[in-house]
Amino acid sequence: MSSTSQNLTGKVALVTGSSRGIGAAIARKLAKDGANVIVNYVSNEKAAAEVLNELNGIRTKSAVAIKADVSTFEGVKKFSAEALKAFGKVDILVLNAGILQNKVLSEVSEEDYDLVFNANVKGPLFLTQMLAPHLPEGGRVIFFSSTLAHFSSVPTNTLLYCGSKGAIEQFTRVLAKDFGPRQITVNCIAPGPIDTDMFRKDKPEQLIKFFENLHPQKRLGQPDEVSGIVALLAGPGGSWINGQTVKVNGGYSV
């Protein structure tokens, strides 16, 4: 274990959207720190299988992959039941799956609203509701927002995305109080631009360069630069951090 490692031996972590990007990096980090991991994906079976192989290479039978659309109530219901069966419990719930859509107010349709809010708000809310009764003392809930929800130069086409992340940050505050008496912490991570498929989609190289230059380090963050804080919050070292949104952005926004 490296110096930033937490001892997660005996813990079971569920990470939504962990076939790629930040979720896959979190799955790897939590597995390296000793947790058994439930990987989740919606369509990319090949990517999920690669992550699963990697995790089972760290320790045999330490991971399973479950296909489930966590933007629907039915998908969440099926997923929570299968997840509880996989290792008999869930200690650490990481609500990472999310989608980004770029539209200004005049372009937004009811379908757009449902798409973004179902994936970014409804899914995390009901998955947490279904698994909450099963979380043990010392359990952890970790939501995902974005630095964009705090950024002064926020682009106007991130209306629905920022609105959905605002809701997640408020869930974090309220649920931290709700779950506190059971010694369960609830926190949220708000990354800045991280080099994943979500970030690169539809962006010309020039725009990516522009974002790189907004960082003091003149580069994008990498998924494994987000996973360390998730492991910290998930482990014993995170026991007194509760109800917080932690910006992980290399100083992109200060």
CA distances from 154 to 102, 147, 150, 165 (A): 12, 9, 8, 13
Number of chain positions touching ligand NAP (CB under 6 A): 32
Q: Give the interface segment with ligand NAP, choosing from 7-15, 127-135, 180-188, 189-197 (CB under 6 A).
A: 189-197
- Least separation in angstroms between residue 21's CB and ligand NAP is 2
Under rule CB under 6 A, residue 124 binds ligand NAP: no
> Which of 179, 188, 98 shows the shortest CA–CA distance to 134?
179
How far apart CA 27 and CA 136 sit, in angstroms, is 20
**Residue 149 C-beta-side C-alpha neighbours within 13 Å:** 23
- From the list 146, 164, 227, 252, the catalytic residue is 146
- Site for ligand NAP (CB under 6 A): which residue of 13, 52, 55, 70? 70
How far apart CA 111 and CA 97 sit, in angstroms, is 19
- Site for ligand NAP (CB under 6 A): which residue of 8, 97, 186, 231? 97
How far apart CA 252 and CA 254 sit, in angstroms, is 7
Q: 161 an active-site residue?
A: yes
* Residues in region 143-182 near ligand NAP by CB under 6 A: 144, 146
- Site for ligand NAP (CB under 6 A): which residue of 197, 217, 239, 251? 197
Residues noted as catalytic: 145-146, 161, 165
